[in-house]
Amino acid sequence: MEKRRQFLKKMLGVMAGMAVLFSPFRSLLRSALAQAEKIILPKGTKRESLVGKNPATLDARNLEVTPLENFGTMGLSDHAENLDRWRLEVTGLVKSPLHLKYDEILATPSVERRVLLVCPGFFANYGTWKGVSIRRLLELAQAGKDATHVTLYGPEGTYEYTQRFPIKDVNSDTVFLAYQVNGKTLPQRHGFPLRTVAEGYYGHDWVKYVYKIKVEQV
């Protein structure tokens, strides 16, 4: 088992280097990591020990939830949305595009999961995230059967950032949009009104201040 783990680490290390240079290797890398044996973190594991780890290789079920006041954050943290004007768009390869108000999102069946967020080299947060299932939104928008990915956008304007995810991660609710963390409304610095939760992905993929979902065939 130990030899197998060492071999996988070497191979995944090579693939990780290729992924940095060639974006098509990213999905291949994640698939390989998903098939590799995850490390079950023991109870009492210090969050500080995880900042250099790849979240796709970790099983965090035994970790204690990080108090919200101890959450680290990176990137844009002071963007403010006016909920009277703000809408979540679901567009692209859909029959019925959506423009949802915040209250309509809260009324949609929710998903709640404990997920580890790792910002490599800086911090690791383990939170209880609650939000809206993108899978459910795609059903409401009648997404095309040929859809392969969704791209998330946020915030609208100068600091817009995008990230693309495979439809399989959306359909499994591995990737969803949170409006609460640890039982509290998502704070502004963490991406209110909606931020991406992406289990197994690094923190830079967790788009904050999401306002648009684009369904695509790639």
Residue 14 has pLDDT above 90, yes or no: no
Residue 5 has pLDDT above 80, yes or no: no
Quote the pLDDT of residue 16.
44
Mind listing the pLDDT tens digit for each residue in 53-88? 999 999 999 999 999 999 999 999 999 999 999 999
Please state the CATH superfamily assignment of the domain spanning residues 68-216 in this structure: Oxidoreductase, molybdopterin-binding domain (3.90.420.10)
Residue 172 has pLDDT above 70, yes or no: yes
Paired with 154 in beta bridges are: 161
> What pTM was estimated for this model as a whole?
0.84
Beta carbons of 40 and 61 less than 8 angstroms apart: yes
What does residue 25 show for φ and ψ, rounded to 5 degrees?
Answer: -75, -10
How many CA atoms does the CB half-sphere of 126 hold within 13 Å? Answer: 20
Domain boundaries, the chain: 2-59, 68-216
Residue 19 has pLDDT above 80, yes or no: no
